[in-house]
Structure 1
Amino acid sequence: MGERRTARERRRAHEFEEFVAGAGGRLLHVAALLTGEAPGRTPAGGTSGDPAAGHGPEAAARLLTAALAATYAAWDGLRGEDPYDRARQELVTRYARTARRPGSADPGGVLAPLAPQERLVLVLRLAEGLAEEQTAALLGLPVERVRTLCTRAVDTLRRGAPRAGRAGAATWRAGWWRTRPWRAGP
């Protein structure tokens, strides 16, 4: 009995390691966008951000670690559910719980002018490529609200990003959306 349980736990751990190896980079990118980490930074080599202020490489790594821990805890109960969808749901839920708590600093980066809900919708719609209906279901919002939030977020970024004095203007002009690690082609 103990040997079967040990073998099952080993298989579970191996399956989860393979999942993280395949999807970890993409999930880290989403976490970095949500927390305001500068594009291209990783927890191992990142130097920007103040972890005490709630943003920076450490915040994205903490957010992703918590989401992956919850996904691993529910691994056996997934039964046909896509583990990436589950991990993304955990990531979004954990970000939504911690965004704009009293005493926490606003995240930085190109998406800094956006409210947390706008940031969530924009990242899910544009960076993750989810449809309005999927985004609405994930966030528990009506489809019209998702459409409005996405439009407002894009308008805010269009108005505010190109100014020469803004810290994220160079990143915006360089095309931060092209730095997605999973993007195929030119």
Structure 2
Amino acid sequence: MRDRQDGPSGENRFRARQFEAFVAGAAGRLLHAATLLTAETRDANPRAQALLTACLAHTYAHWDRLRGEDPYDRARADLATRFARTAWRHHRGRGGLLSALTPQERLVVVLRLYEGVAEEQTAALLGLAEERVRAICARSVSALRDRRGGRLAS
């Protein structure tokens, strides 16, 4: 009976250590991506923190099922999916760097430019055509450049 109890708890400790190491390495970048998505400022980003917390909880719950998959890719996909599901309700711009963009534009820009996800993968993740992802990204970058140029000229 004692051996049975030691086995799973040892596995749980190992799983927890693995996940802690993953979070230590990836949480900062994922939080920054979530902050960009929610268009909050770095100093005041409660929605981004809530989004990241839910994403990491889901990743931990499915940690044993990754089986060779990159946990960062899985967490990033979950973060993007959670944002996309709630963006129309909760994530209007709040003065962040990308607040001039719509939630869909922010999602494409963050995945393509900040995270470096390929157009094909971004399109598959969002359920859009590759041409649409390319057009959204180009339009968003153009809008950000125009906005930045206007701010610099003032």
Q: Same fold (TM over 0.5)?
A: yes
What is the deviation of 1:163?
2.1
State how 1:116-127 maps to structure 2 within 5 Å.
Answer: 116-127=103-114
Partner of 1:107: 93
Assess, with a 3 A threshold, how the Cα gap between structure 1 residues 105 and 12 changes in structure 2: closer, same or farther: closer
Deviating beyond 6 angstroms after TM superposition, the runs of 4 or more aligned structure 1 residues are: none
Q: Which has the higher helix share?
A: 2
CA distance in 1: counterparts of 2:130 and 2:136, whole angstroms? 10
CA distance in 2: counterparts of 1:4 and 1:105, whole angstroms? 44
Letter in 2 for 1:64: L
CA distance in 1: counterparts of 2:29 and 2:37, whole angstroms? 13
CA distance in 2: counterparts of 1:99 and 1:4, whole angstroms? 43
Partner of 1:51: none
Q: Secondary structure at the match of 2:149?
A: coil
Aligned length: 149
What is the deviation of 1:119?
0.7
TM-score of the superposed pair, with normalisation by structure 2? 0.90
Partner of 1:134: 121
Checking the alignment, whether the CA contact within 8 Å between 2:123 and 2:133 is kept in structure 1 is yes
State how 1:1-186 maps to structure 2 within 5 Å.
Answer: 1-38=4-41, 41=42, 46=43, 56-101=44-89, 104=90, 106-108=92-94, 109-164=96-151
Checking the alignment, whether the CA contact within 8 Å between 1:118 and 1:149 is kept in structure 2 is yes
CA distance in 2: counterparts of 1:116 and 1:57, whole angstroms? 16
1:123-149 per-residue CA deviation (whole Å, 9 max, x = no partner) reads 111111111112112222211111011
1:36-70 per-residue CA deviation (whole Å, 9 max, x = no partner) reads 122xx3xxxx3xxxxxxxxx421111110000000
Letter in 1 for 2:65: G
Give 5+ residue unaligned stretches, structure 2. none
What is the deviation of 1:3?
1.1
Checking the alignment, whether the CA contact within 8 Å between 1:63 and 1:94 is kept in structure 2 is yes
What is the deviation of 1:105?
6.0
Give 5+ residue unaligned stretches, structure 1. 47-55, 170-186
Which stretch of structure 1 is more off in the superposition, 129-138 or 90-99? Answer: 129-138
CA RMSD, 1 decimal: 1.6
- Give % identity: 59
